[in-house]
Structure 1
Amino acid sequence: MPRLIFFCGHAGTGKTTLAHRLIGPLMQATGEPFCLLDKDTLYGRYSAAAMAAITGDPNDRDSPAYLENLRDPEYQGLLDTARENLALGISVLVVGPLSREVKAHQLHDPAWLKVPAGTVVHIVWVHLPENEAHDRIVRRGNPNDAYKLAHWDAYRTRRFMPAPAEYPELTYFDNLAPDDAGTQALLHALAA
């Protein structure tokens, strides 16, 4: 049974770094092949070209124009690619905020996901305090974050922290100061 593991959370929380850190150990622990699908890697260049045509700004990745025109097709393509790999028996790590989908409990809904029967699904919510996530975004200096940083007050209204009682399907990972024990515990939970 292949695994579908989501690394979700808001910008700057370290989703990609965590997925990169765990993919090798997951393959070793499970003996299964995995692929990593990062939304920014899959769609970054396309989105840059599309947003340059739509708004004149190739680094615009958070404006209303982006959210209305590209956000949902990017996520649909990301999930289509995951499904294709799962159908081939390849487990998948998906990296992307997916906050709307988490909020609506869609990633835990087999009918919505449309993944092959028997797929084991894990959803990791990677979180940081807002101020630390903001500081990390500033430090990484990615031009794609410019719109978000310039409009932080609007962006922050979309940030939320899912309460464990309301989102029991999530595995929470505090990425503020992850230690080896916490990372190993997450690895064991995902490999079980």
Structure 2
Amino acid sequence: MAGLFSSGDKQAFIAAKRDYELATEAEKETREIRALRIRLGLRCKAAFDKFFVEAAESAADYADRCMLALAAGEEKPEPPARKAFQTVNSVNGEVIVYLPLPYVEEIFKVASAYQLEEVDAAGAIEMAQGIADKISEALHLDTPFEALRFLRDELEAEESGEESDSEGEGSESDDPDTQGKPGA
């Protein structure tokens, strides 16, 4: 990776990790530390979702590469490397967010299981929220951030669509001769 990042980029990575460590390790909660923790909580929420999406895409790609290797009689390829940093948008533009690799690994496992249909959306959300709760606790947040809002919204839309479908069943006939006629 040497040479890929400018010294400014390297400083951003160092600063992101330093901020995370300061937020998680500070013993006194000053106004500045509290503000840092809240800011990092919001950034970690955004990074969490991006890690999840990238991991799901990576899992699908890796599964395809493994099947191709197996079909060709070759060795299984190396799994994709995980990274502890994520770029997210903030009110001040793009920022680098650091999450320790053990959390990233957990997110990757949940996203992979979801992508490979080993767990449904509700199960993935529940497991992901458990990881988010641990990150929130490490950051000393009063309220854990909500993980995977996009997937929750998708699930809620599916569930409300199913409810409206079942409510409408039997209310109209499929027979074109009786549709729209009173008493049909």
Normalising by structure 1, report the TM-score. Answer: 0.26
Which has the larger Rg? 2
Higher-helix-fraction structure = 2
Normalising by structure 2, report the TM-score. Answer: 0.27
**Greater RCO, CA 8 A, separation 6+:** 1
Higher-strand-fraction structure = 1
